[in-house]
Amino acid sequence: MWVSFAGKAFSAEIERLRVWPAPDKTRVVFDLSGNVEYKAFTVDNPSRVVIDFKNSNAQKELVLPVRKNRLLKRVRSAKKQNKSFRVVLDLRRNVKIKSFQLGPAENKGHRLVIDLIDPRMAPQAEPQVAQGKKKKPAKQTVSKKKKQQVSEPILRDLVVAIDAGHGGKDPGASGKRGTREKDVVLSIAKKLARKINNTPGMRAVLTRERDIFLPLRKRIEIARRHNADLFISLHADAFRNHTVQGSSVYVLSEHGASSEAARWLAEKENAADFIGGVKLHTEDKLLKEVLIDLSQNAVMDASTNVAREVLNGLQRIGKVHKPTVQHAGFVVLKAPDIPSILIETAFITNPKEERKLINPSHQKKLVDAIHRGITRYFSEYAPPGTRLAAR
């Protein structure tokens, strides 16, 4: 049976495919030009989900935006003879699916959402609200309590850890006019924290609020201590060639630096661990732990998704150095359990961008762009138990 949204259905263009992994499910979102009628069903041996879009088409080939996913293997699509468009999601194992359409909201257009629920990872069923209804009076106090727990779960704020790079004896990069990276990124970090704290359902934690030196892993520790849902490290870029400009967004690479420039950058940022006189062998245990957990694909996929949204935001306000999310081995991104991104806000070595970096109104633009990226990401994928997820 064809399922339509709000009773209306037209022919639609399938514009893009997005994927949001969570521990118990993977959410697949199709961005559409309008409402569609669709059928979604699972097929076994081999495991797959088939989605037929009535009177629809896709101009561009649909590709999986994530490199690795626990449930998704690949996507295939084809136009069918009856004018419908078929998308097949090849899976690693059988799943249960839930599907629904969403209308335009918060900068998003029409969407079809398919949740792939991993039955092995699905959370246990909540205690039933109605459970105590017909029981003896003696047990009612207990069931009343249960009922309250179910109907009024304690919701928490999303925590965003904001890390102003460098600090103290480590000034970071500097510009011709003497602007120091550690100062501008602290100023931007404070503004971003204020903006996040003014956003309902969100709370910011700064790794440093003053001009102090902080070893890289200490920054991750602070984020973890506050149970951060997201870690954002702010930096300003430097290069020998002073005409190089634009912002970049990094996530941790799986196999080290992805390009020569990225490797150069990674070395520069990592060097801070030694500047502070921190001996690596004292942190061996954490390092080991971090390396083992690098395989946590869900966190890496989440990092890539949020990085993409932030990069989109930055693209709206000015030049980006690299139009795609970059991968590098920055130590500060190595939290195995917190989606983490590093933003090179601009090139401090470019005189034009150096002026921008110290300009409060440009700082505000940067903050707005980053904030926009974060909220867009969380509007799609808010961790369970947060006020934003409940909305």
Binding mask 8-27 for Zn ion (x = CB under 5 A): --------------------
Q: Cβ closer to Zn ion: 167 or 373?
A: 167
Give the Cα separation of 167 and 34 in Å (integer). 49
Q: Cβ closer to Zn ion: 84 or 233?
A: 233
Beta carbon of residue 253, minimum distance to Zn ion (angstroms, whole number): 17
Alpha helices in 29-75 (DSSP H): none
Q: Hey, CA dihedral for 192, 193, 197, 203, is it positive or negative?
A: positive
Residues 138-167 that bind Zn ion (CB under 5 A): 165
Residues 255-284 that bind Zn ion (CB under 5 A): none
The Cβ-side half-sphere exposure at 303, using a 13 Å CA radius, reads 32
Size of the site for Zn ion (CB under 5 A): 3
Beta carbon of residue 239, minimum distance to Zn ion (angstroms, whole number): 12
Strand order in the sheet with 158-164: 202-206, 158-164, 230-237, 340-347, 248-252, 326-328
DSSP β-ladder status, 248-252 and 340-347: antiparallel
Is cis: bond before 384, omega within 30 of 0?
Answer: no
Q: Cβ closer to Zn ion: 163 or 301?
A: 163
Beta carbon of residue 110, minimum distance to Zn ion (angstroms, whole number): 40
Q: Cβ closer to Zn ion: 165 or 329?
A: 165
The residue at minimum Cβ distance from Zn ion is: 235
Beta carbon of residue 355, minimum distance to Zn ion (angstroms, whole number): 19
Q: Hey, CA dihedral for 97, 98, 102, 106, is it positive or negative?
A: negative
With binding defined as CB under 5 A, does residue 48 bind Zn ion? Answer: no
Binding mask 207-246 for Zn ion (x = CB under 5 A): ----------------------------x-----------
Q: Cβ closer to Zn ion: 208 or 235?
A: 235
- Choosing from 21, 132, 167, 172, the residue that interacts with Zn ion (CB under 5 A) is 172
Residues 323-352 that bind Zn ion (CB under 5 A): none
Q: State the amino acid at position 164 in one-letter form.
A: A
Beta carbon of residue 209, minimum distance to Zn ion (angstroms, whole number): 18
Give the Cα separation of 105 and 70 in Å (integer). 29
Give the Cα separation of 69 and 299 in Å (integer). 11
Strand order in the sheet with 38-43: 38-43, 48-53, 85-91, 72-79
Beta carbon of residue 362, minimum distance to Zn ion (angstroms, whole number): 18
Q: Which residues form the interface with Zn ion (CB under 5 A)?
A: 165, 172, 235
